[in-house]
Structures are given as structure tokens and as C-alpha cells.
Amino acid sequence: RPLFMLDYLAVGQLEPEVAREVVAGFADYCRRADCALLGGETAEMPGFYPPGDYDIAGFAVGVVDETKIVDGSRCQAGDVIIGLAGSGVHSNGFSLVRMLLDRGLISLDMDCAGVPLSQALLQPTRLYLPLAQSLAKLPGVKAMAHITGGGLPGNVGRTVAKDLDTVIDGASWPLPPVFEIIAGTGVPRQELLATFNMGIGYTVISDPDQADSVRELCSNEGIETWKIGHLVQGSGQVKIND
């Protein structure tokens, strides 16, 4: 569980309203994670950051009972992979998004399921922490992964032993509209999978007979889930089938 967090905001010229919104965002997420926001630093560096630009970072400290760590060591062939819905792009892949914008392949005002693409791209990242704490108490849950940089290939496989392969059915969940738009620009599928979460923000690996319990717990928290794959004997590869 998280204990406390420090924030950092660097700007060329401090804009009080922007600073208030940034700190309020940190405070909101810390409140939802039951984590104390102890303070931080605001650095004003004219000449280094252009007007309107700013840099945000954070640092958190947490604690876990060593005997209760969910580290994937109990995973075995036949275990089920459950994907939890994301809320959008989250915090990864924006360099590629900016490149597509710069090349005119997408525009911020284009329609994305009834809202401007800009709004869809800036949808806040879903916080999985409270749910993950509950999932960790289920005896059949063996591994969990937050799908951040590297996408599904870069995050799911590293939670299991090297003698297991992760097999994912890429058609087992619906592709959110924001990713349909990005995919429509012609970015290769492998690059999309290695850059974005593609609609799966978090994964849980469990005993097959515990999969329904995992999904029910997620459903009670308002998070949609899908059985997206399984583990087989292998050599540590992640295989995503279309």
C-alpha cells in the first residue's frame, strides 16, 4: 500500500492557476489511493522552459508484507489471463500521438465516439490500486501487471517465469474508438501493441477456477473485464494472436 508522495512542478514562469490545478490533481489521486501528499517542489526556470510549457513528476513510497507479495512465482501452464478495461490512452504513447498530429494524420477536433479526439486523449488514467489490493487477497490470483510503456508484450510476460509463454487472443476484447482512430493512420499493429495499452489497462493471472471471482470483483467496482489469454509451457515469449 502507498504511504506518501511528493510532487514536482517545473515551469519557465509560474502560472498560479496551472499550479493549483496540478496540485489538485495530485491531491485527488492521493486521496483515492489513501496516500498522503506530503509536499514537493515548484521550480521556476525562465529561459529553460518556453512559455506555457511545464514538467511534472512524482515520487511515492509504499510498503508491502513480504509474505503477501503477488510476484507470479506460482503461475503455471493453464492459468487464465484476465484483462481489465482501461480508460483511454492513459499516460503512454503520447510521443507517437504527437507525431501523428504533426504529420496531419489525426486532428484534435476529429470525432471520437461523440467527443473531440482531444477529450478522448486526455481522459484521466484509471486508478487500479484499491481494486488491486482487493484482488491480491484472492488465493487464486498469482500475478498482476499494470499495462504501461511497452504495452501488453512488455508488461504481462515479465510477471511470469521464463519457462512459460503468454498467449493472448487480440480479438477477445473490443478496441476502444481512440485506438481505432490511431490504428487507422497505418501504424503497424506490432508498434501499436508495443506502445499503447490498446484498451487493456491492467491484467490479472489466476487459477482457471478463480477467474469468475476475479471478474465479479472487478464488475462490482464498475470495471469491465475479458478473458484474454492463458499460459502455456514455453520460453518466456508473449504471443498475441489476431
Q: Residue 69: CB partners within 8 Å, gap ≥ 6?
A: none
Q: Residue 172: CB partners within 8 Å, gap ≥ 6?
A: 83, 226, 227, 228, 229
The reply to whether 53 and 170 lie within a common domain is no
The reply to whether 143 and 54 lie within a common domain is no
In CATH, what number is assigned to the domain containing residue 128? 3.90.650.10
The reply to whether 40 and 139 lie within a common domain is no
Per residue in 96-149, pLDDT (tens digit) is: 999 999 999 999 999 999 999 999 999 999 999 999 999 999 999 999 999 999
pLDDT value of position 227: 98
Q: Is residue 134 part of a domain?
A: yes
- Contact call for residues 136 and 72 (beta carbons, < 8 A): no
In CATH, what number is assigned to the domain containing residue 46? 3.30.1330.10
Q: Is residue 189 part of a domain?
A: yes
- What nine digits make up the cell of 177? 474508438
The count of other CB atoms within 10 Å of the CB of residue 150 is 16
- Range of the structural domain that residue 31 is part of: 2-63
Regions of the chain where pLDDT drops below 70:
none
The reply to whether 129 and 219 lie within a common domain is yes
The reply to whether 171 and 56 lie within a common domain is no
- Name the helix (H) or strand (E) containing 39: strand 36-44
Q: Is residue 227 part of a domain?
A: yes
The values of phi and psi at residue 119, to 5°, are: -70, -40
- Contact call for residues 16 and 54 (beta carbons, < 8 A): no
pLDDT value of position 52: 87
- What nine digits make up the cell of 152? 501488453
The one-letter amino acid at 190: Q
The reply to whether 194 and 87 lie within a common domain is yes
The reply to whether 130 and 206 lie within a common domain is yes
Integer Cα distance of 125 and 128 in angstroms: 9
**Number of folded domains in the chain?**
2
